[in-house]
Structures are given as structure tokens and as C-alpha cells.
């Protein structure tokens, strides 16, 4: 069986370091591993509109921002199809058929849907489109017969596997059950915001963006939330729940201590010193800043180049979208045949030669 990746992001803002550790970094690794036959990376504008339907300009302008972030982070259009969700009507049709397979109660119980609803204050109630977005997510994944879906923890308890099983058991083996691939590092599952809030999120304004310049990143790091009980350098400090250490957990690689803080061998030593007391926040933050700049500088530089070639970037999206639609159309034909709604293709039904 082919190995196929599908994943994506909502064009509600530029991408941030939470996206990077939660999914983007892994995608680039998987892309370059050569282990996958097809890769589809989706800019989920139709999903973004479910809670931003009053702000089409916001969604429209962020398509290019997300595409620039993709290319700068290392997604390669020669290996990955970068495409725009709304331009593939097959996805909408699949969503419509899958709606029959899910109960309202099942969606209401979904912890992700609950949490996402809580994040947004829908003053006039929850739009049906938003409420059903996990169903459209199932359509996105299954349309490409994805076997692997690399995402952050907030996307995990979704219902696509249930939909696949139910569809296959009613209509016959048609859809592929995907594997959800979470980050292998606990801190990267759901990176907190610079304000210490549970999740870095475009909608909460607590982000370090991949496209932030060097000085902006430095300022954001230096004003980050740490342990409120760690007032003097000599005070013992807490590492758990301390956002600066969580970011280090997510970002530190071999070599970072040698390069930027050679008096410590590794993160465990640094943490021990902080816990004992005698290690100041400023020193830890400066280290984090160095580590982040090292990761972000090449991304930032590539972005500057792509920013000069906007028509070329749209061309990449157009080509990726064409390839994605061709694939989704094949799946949709199979789905229609399984559901017995392929009337005009069915010679037996029509009785014609
Ligand atoms: P929005 O606020 O519009 O929902 P978002 O910042 O939550 O935006 P999404 O486009 O919903 O971003 O998520 C894209 C991908 O990034 C998903 O795989 C999600 O799991 C992952 N992701 C988003 N935020 C984080 C985070 N703070 N830590 C780890 N992964 C994250
Ligand atoms: Mg989100």
C-alpha cells in the first residue's frame, strides 16, 4: 500500500513556533526521508471560514503567508503538493456524505471540538459549519487515502477513523484508516504561549512567529513568563510549567550547549541548577534566544527570497491544487460507486450496451 501524508493549517495568521514543533518540523523530516509516495499539505481556508466567515479578507490574505511559511520551513513543491482546500469541491461532497455517519451527540462529546468552541466566543451560538468541522477534516484525510497525518495534540481525538470504519462496514472496503502521528516530544505536543497560557495560538496573540525578525524574537523571549516564585537568582526555581524550559524541551538539539552555553553538558544539568537555585532567568532566556535564532534564521532568510516571488508561489499552489484535485476525484468516484449513487456509470442499471 502507498504511504501518503495529509496535513495542513488554517490560514488565520502566519505560522508560529508551535506549528513548527507540533507538525511542520516533522513534515519536513518525513518529506525528506523519501519514505512517502505522495504528500499533500493543505491550506485549510474552508475550515478557517467556519469561524471567520465574517472576515474573508483575513483568510484570503493569510493564504500566501502560510504558503511562504511552508516554503521557508523547507517544504519542497517538488516533493509535496501544497494546495488550497476550498478549490477542491470533491472535499465538500465527501463531507456531505460522511455527515450521515456521525451523530450530533458524538460531535458534542468530542474533547477537541469542546475545547475549540470554548476558545472562541460565538456570540450567536455555534455555527453548524464550525460544529461539523471534524467531519470535513475526515473528508480531507480520506480524500487523499492518507496513511499518515502528522499533527499537534489538539488535533488528535478526531473522528476520521470512526468514519472510515463505519463507511467501510456499510458500503464495503473503500477508505483508508489513517495513523495520527503526534510529536515524539512531550513539550511539542501543545506548545504554550509566551504568556504561559496552555496553547500558543494565532487567535490568542501569544505567538513567536516563524517570520518575526531577530529583535522581535529576542524581545518576546526576554519578556516571557517563568516561575513567579523565582524572584532572586539564588532562589530555587520550578522547571515544570515554566514556559522558558518548556520551549527548551521542544527546541534544544545536540550541539546547542557546546555552541551557546558550554558550562552545562545538557538540559538536565541546566534544569538541576535552576531547581537548586543560583541560576538567573536572564541567562536561561538568553540561551533560549540563541537556540531559537539558530533555528529561525535560515527560515527567515528563505522567506525573504520567496517574498520577492509571489506569482511563483501562487503558481506552486495552483499546481499543487490541481494534483490534489485529481487524487480527490478518484476517491470520490470510488465513494459514489460504493454508495451506489454512480447511476450514469452503471451499465447494468441503465440496461444499455
Ligand atoms: P487557530 O487559532 O486559527 O485554530 P492555530 O494556531 O490553532 O490556529 P491550526 O491551523 O489550528 O493553528 O493548527 C495547525 C497545526 O498546528 C495542527 O496540526 C495543530 O495541532 C498544530 N498546532 C497549533 N498550535 C500548536 C501548538 N501550540 N503546539 C503544537 N502544535 C500546534
Ligand atoms: Mg487551531
Q: Are the beta carbons of 214 and 293 closer than 8 angstroms? A: yes
Give 25-83 pLDDT, tens digit per residue: 999 999 999 999 999 999 999 999 999 999 999 999 999 999 999 999 999 999 999 99
CA distances from 155 to 111, 220, 352 (A): 10, 27, 48
Mean pLDDT across the stretch 240-244?
95
Give 111-157 pLDDT, tens digit per residue: 888 888 888 888 788 999 999 999 999 999 999 999 999 988 877 76
Whether 281 has a pLDDT exceeding 80, the answer reads yes
Give the rounded percent of residues in the chain with a pLDDT score beyond 70: 99
- pLDDT value of residue 157: 66
Q: Are the beta carbons of 293 and 251 closer than 8 angstroms? A: no
pTM of the predicted structure, to 2 decimals:
0.94
Whether 203 has a pLDDT exceeding 80, the answer reads no
Give 147 Cα–ligand 2 centroid separation in angstroms: 22
Mean pLDDT across the stretch 206-225?
96
If phi > 0 it is left, if psi is from -120 to 50 it is alpha, else beta; for residue 88 that is beta
Give 133 Cα–ligand 2 centroid separation in angstroms: 11
- pLDDT value of residue 353: 65
- pLDDT value of residue 197: 82
What ligand is nearest to the CA atom of residue 62? 1
Confidence tier at 172 by pLDDT (50, 70, 90): very high
**Least-confidence region, from 163-172, 179-188, 324-333:** 179-188
| Most ligand 1 atoms within 8 A of CB, residue of 7, 15, 18 to mutate | 18
Confidence tier at 275 by pLDDT (50, 70, 90): very high
Helix (H) / strand (E) element for 43: namely: strand 38-43
Give 83 Cα–ligand 2 centroid separation in angstroms: 18
For residues 154-171, b (16+ Cβ closer than 10 Å) or e, as one string? bbeebbbeebbebbeeeb
Give the rounded percent of residues in the chain with a pLDDT score beyond 90: 83
| Most ligand 1 atoms within 8 A of CB, residue of 5, 8, 12, 19 to mutate | 19
Mean pLDDT across the stretch 290-306?
97
14 in contact with ligand 1, CB cutoff 6 A: no
Distance of alpha carbon 163 from alpha carbon 135, whole angstroms: 8
CB atoms within 10 A of CB 47: 26
CB atoms within 10 A of CB 26: 22
Cell numbers 538541576: residue: 272
Cell numbers for 281, please give them. 532567568
202 in contact with ligand 1, CB cutoff 6 A: yes
Mean pLDDT across the stretch 19-24?
94
Distance of alpha carbon 138 from alpha carbon 158, whole angstroms: 8
Whether 173 has a pLDDT exceeding 90, the answer reads yes
Amino acid at each position: 500500500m502507498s504511504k501518503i501524508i495529509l496535513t495542513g493549517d488554517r490560514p488565520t495568521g502566519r505560522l508560529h513556533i508551535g506549528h513548527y514543533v507540533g507538525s511542520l518540523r516533522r513534515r519536513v523530516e518525513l518529506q525528506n526521508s523519501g519514505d512517502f509516495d505522495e504528500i499533500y499539505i493543505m491550506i485549510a481556508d474552508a475550515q478557517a471560514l467556519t469561524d471567520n466567515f465574517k472576515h474573508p479578507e483575513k483568510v484570503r490574505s493569510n493564504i500566501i503567508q502560510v504558503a511562504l511559511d511552508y516554503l521557508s520551513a523547507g517544504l519542497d513543491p517538488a516533493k509535496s503538493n501544497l494546495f488550497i482546500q476550498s478549490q477542491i469541491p470533491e472535499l465538500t461532497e465527501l463531507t456531505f456524505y460522511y455527515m450521515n455517519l456521525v451523530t450530533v451527540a458524538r460531535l458534542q462529546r468530542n474533547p477537541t471540538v469542546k475545547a475549540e468552541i470554548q476558545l472562541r466566543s460565538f456570540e450567536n451560538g455555534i455555527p453548524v459549519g464550525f460544529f461539523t468541522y471534524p467531519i470535513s477534516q475526515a473528508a480531507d484525510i480520506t480524500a487523499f487515502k492518507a496513511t499518515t497525518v502528522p499533527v499537534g495534540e489538539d488535533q488528535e481525538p478526531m473522528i476520521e477513523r470512526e468514519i472510515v470504519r463505519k463507511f467501510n462496514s456499510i458500503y464495503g472496503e473503500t477508505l483508508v484508516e489513517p495513523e495520527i502521528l503526534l510529536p515524539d516530544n512531550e513539550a511539542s505536543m501543545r506548545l504554550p504561549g509566551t504568556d504561559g497560557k496552555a496553547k500558543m495560538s494565532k487567535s490568542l496573540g501569544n505567538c513567536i512567529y516563524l517570520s518575526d525578525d531577530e529583535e522581535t524574537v529576542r524581545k518576546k523571549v526576554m519578556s516571557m513568563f517563568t516561575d513567579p516564585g523565582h524572584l532572586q537568582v539564588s532562589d530555587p526555581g520550578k522547571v515544570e510549567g515554566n514556559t522558558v524550559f518548556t520551549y527548551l524541551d521542544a527546541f534544544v538539539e545536540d550541539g546547542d550547549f557546546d555552541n551557546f552555553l558550554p558550562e552545562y553538558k545538557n538540559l538536565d544539568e541546566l534544569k538541576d541548577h535552576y531547581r537548586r537555585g543560583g541560576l538567573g532567568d536572564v541567562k536561561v532566556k538568553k540561551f533560549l534566544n540563541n537556540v531559537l535564532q539558530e533555528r529561525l534564521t535560515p527560515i527567515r532568510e528563505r522567506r525573504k527570497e520567496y517574498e520577492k516571488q509571489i506569482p511563483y508561489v501562487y503558481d506552486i499552489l495552483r499546481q499543487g491544487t490541481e494534483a490534489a484535485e485529481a487524487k480527490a476525484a478518484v476517491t470520490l468516484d470510488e465513494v459514489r460507486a460504493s454508495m451506489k449513487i454512480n447511476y450514469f456509470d452503471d451499465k447494468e442499471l441503465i440496461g444499455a450496451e
